[in-house]
Amino acid sequence: MTVNYFLDAMKKYAVFSGRARRSEYWYFVLFATIGNLIFTSIDYFMLNSGESGFTILATIFSLVVFLPSLGVGVRRLHDIGKVGWWYLLAFVPFGAFVLIYFFIEDSEPDNQYGPCPK
């Protein structure tokens, strides 16, 4: 069941319209973090990247999940009634804390981005 949230987000690879529930967003974050840790470990222990600090597999994985992470973040903002441009708060000092607050908020009822996914 939980892997389905990650797979659903990956199926909507670059979809920035619609809504994403809290569970879809946070499970995507969980699996992306676990994947990044796994690939970083493989790079460090098997490919001996500890000396150079360059992790090729983790970098490729991060590039693969970059657009899906933007898409699920924007859809999560749509779920609470905010426009996707709020995602730019990540570039403002302490803006990430505001985004985390937005991402843990409960879904709004039906709004301009579609019906409530609950």
Would 32 be classed as within a structural domain? yes
Kindly state the average pLDDT of the residues 37-60. 80
How many folded domains does the chain comprise?
Answer: 1
The pTM of this model reads 0.83
Would 48 be classed as within a structural domain? yes
Looking at residue 1, its pLDDT comes to: 57
Would 115 be classed as within a structural domain? no
- Span 10-48, pLDDT tens digits: 677 778 888 888 888 998 999 999 999 999 888 888 777
Would 113 be classed as within a structural domain? no
DSSP code string of 25-77: HHHHHHHHHHHHHHHHHHHHHTS--TTT---HHHHHHHHHHHHHHHHHHHHHH
Would 52 be classed as within a structural domain? yes
Would 34 be classed as within a structural domain? yes
Range of the domain at 12: 2-104
| 92 CA to centre of own chain | 18
Would 15 be classed as within a structural domain? yes
